[in-house]
Amino acid sequence: MRLALIGALLLATTAAAQDLTGHGGPVSALAAGAAVAVSGGFDGRVILWDSTQASALRIARLHDGNVTAVALAGETRFLSAGQDGRIALWDKGGADPIWSTPKEVSPVSALTLGGDQVAAGFLDGRIARIDLATGAMTLHPAHEGRVAGLAFLPDGSLASVGGDLRFSRWDSAGTLLARTSLPDLPNGLARAGDALAIPFAEGALRLLSPEGEILPERFLSERPLVAVAANAETVAAAAVDGTVWLLDLPTLAPRAEVPGGTGPVWALALEGETLFAAGMQGVIRRLSAVDGASLGGTPLATASLPEDTSRGAEVWQACAVCHSLDPGDHSRAGPSLHGVLGRRIASVEGYDFSPALRAMEIVWTPETISELFEFGPEAYTPGSRMPDQRVGDPADRQALVEYLSRFAP
Amino acid sequence: MARMKFLCDADRCIECNACVTACKNEHEVPWGINRRRVVTLNDGLPGERSVSMACMHCTDAPCASVCPVSCFYTTADGVVLHNKDTCIGCGYCSYACPFGAPQYPQMANFGTRGKMDKCTYCAGGPEADHSQAEYVKYGKNRLAEGKLPLCAEMCSTKSLLAGDGDIIAEIYRERVVTRGYGSGAWGWRTAYGETVTV
């Protein structure tokens, strides 16, 4: 009995310390609560995690393209937003979202939750206010350029930073309460105790008062900072080279630096003494918020190199972010291409193809694959979710087909 | 070989937006996209300054380092261009760019992954110089004609300078020495990793 208890404890400890793996490609958005976390990525999936067990509780798909922002609404409900401009509220159970907003012409670039209000910022500078209960949405212009970050303040007002190098505060009706200029391009916004933490493209992390006054600032990097997370004691920031910093509040005294080397970290989330960090690598790493030590233990992988040095391998690199060559690996944005030659279009099991592709009669041969990239998916397979990539050089198309015949037989 | 750079002297910009208009007209940039924009800081307050922002063609371009399909390349002149045939519209370059340069079409549903668009330094793209395909995707290739970017050519106060980095830095140095002040080489250090020493 005692051995079983010790075993169960060890298992739980091991699971609790694990990194979160499941996205098939870069992870763009993260949020964490006491026992759950939610993430979104370039594979178009939104995953609700049991962060104590490091297991997926729910995998949701709604958005066309990248999932750009997520938020937790309690332990069982979560929000997602994407490149398609849609925002959705999900529950742990149920096939469909509780509500979702219509597609917009602009992607969602920021998302935050305050009480029963959701705020979303768009790449074109608008802000949407959404009622959490009903999904009813109102929009108002806010910035000239991307809304880079949003946060509700304790008084109920909404703080925003944008590509027009401005910090703004809005009331619940979308009326501008205050506006100040920022010294550089902001790349996020997080509540940091009584202040707001903003990472800047020039590599600086700054604290702002709710009135927009610049408090302490610290230059962390020569590279742009692209992610931030904070709580009352700690602020974390990450740069495009993947370096992560932990700093004390309110002084911004550096506490720890976690070296990069595996590509950009696009999203951070702080929960208690754990920092979740995710980006190009696709793994949600679990770090100590105290000293930056890796808790998850997943080895840092460098970018995967092509398996040979042919021109075909170079051309394939542009496909590899969306397609795997492993049999049955449909975790990425597109299906596995293992065995694609000789297969009818949209016929492989386990991937949710668009109806347009399912209705087509194409069989993938060296000739049809070459034609696909000569004319582009928009013309050759209209209705496909595939980006309109083309390979203009016939020799490159031939090299790609030869590569596929070698590695995706 | 020249190392082409932009220099925006924020002490001279009068926020006329001629650079924005010239660019849009020269390249027939689609609705919803401005490859160049003018941002005014401290608008209406003491210390108001404007800066003309676009792709600065960085020395170690962050956009290129984060592109998952490696669609960016740097020309022999130091101009950072991208191949729209390879771009998948993932949007990561827009998060990495220190100048907010990458733009995306708003006419279509972005879920279809519209191609990223940005300043080309009037240097076209990977297609043959002056070809119709190059013009449609990237706009005019003035550099291949021996001309500099039209935004800088149109700048009435010569706030925006384009050309070989050493030459425009020297022009800026002379300017600062003559007028006795200067803090306007906005973004130079971020883009090129060095300061314009005066």
A68 touches chain B (CB under 8 A): yes
Q: Select from A25, A84, A224 the Cβ nearest to the Cβ of B111.
A: A84
b/e sequence A110-145, b meaning 16+ C-beta within 10 Å: bbbbbeeebbbbbbbbbbbbbebeebebeeeebbbb
Output the pLDDT for position B100.
Answer: 94
- Per the CB < 8 A criterion, the answer to whether A338 and A326 are in contact is yes
B94 touches chain A (CB under 8 A): yes
Q: Which residues pair with B186 in a beta bridge?
A: B8
Contact A240 B62 (CB under 8 A): yes
The band of A300, judged by pLDDT with boundaries at 50, 70 and 90, is: low
From A66's Cα to the closest Cα of chain B, the distance in A is 7
Residue of B66, B68, B118, B96 whose CA lies nearest to B190: B96
A390 touches chain B (CB under 8 A): yes
B64 touches chain A (CB under 8 A): no
From A3's Cα to the closest Cα of chain B, the distance in A is 48
Contact A224 B69 (CB under 8 A): no
Alpha-carbon distance A207 to A216, whole Å?
Answer: 6
Q: Select from A28, A103, A266 the Cβ nearest to the Cβ of B111.
A: A103
Q: Select from B42, B90, B111 the Cβ nearest to the Cβ of A64.
A: B111
> How many residue pairs from chains A and B have C-beta atoms closer than 8 A?
131
The band of B195, judged by pLDDT with boundaries at 50, 70 and 90, is: confident
Q: Is the pLDDT of residue A2 over 90?
A: no
Alpha-carbon distance B185 to B197, whole Å?
Answer: 10
A43 touches chain B (CB under 8 A): no
A163 touches chain B (CB under 8 A): yes
pTM for the full model?
Answer: 0.91
Contact B106 A83 (CB under 8 A): no
A339-364: per-residue pLDDT in tens?
A: 999 999 999 999 989 899 999 999 99
Provide CATH code, domain A25-288: 2.130.10.10
**Preferred mutation among A109, A179, A240, A386 to probe B, highest tally of B CBs within 10 A:** A240
- Per the CB < 8 A criterion, the answer to whether B62 and B98 are in contact is yes
Query: What residues 344-373 of chain A have any CB closer than 8 A to a CB of chain B?
Result: none
The band of A94, judged by pLDDT with boundaries at 50, 70 and 90, is: confident
Q: Is the pLDDT of residue B16 over 50?
A: yes
A63 touches chain B (CB under 8 A): yes
Query: Domain segments of chain A: what residues?
Result: 25-288, 311-407
A123 touches chain B (CB under 8 A): yes
Output the pLDDT for position B111.
Answer: 44
Q: Is the pLDDT of residue B108 over 90?
A: no
- Its ipTM equals 0.91
Q: Is the pLDDT of residue B107 over 80?
A: no
Class of domain A311-407: mainly alpha
SS3 label, residue A276: strand
Tokens of A340: 């694609």
Could you tell me which chain A residue has the CA closest to the CA of B38? A164
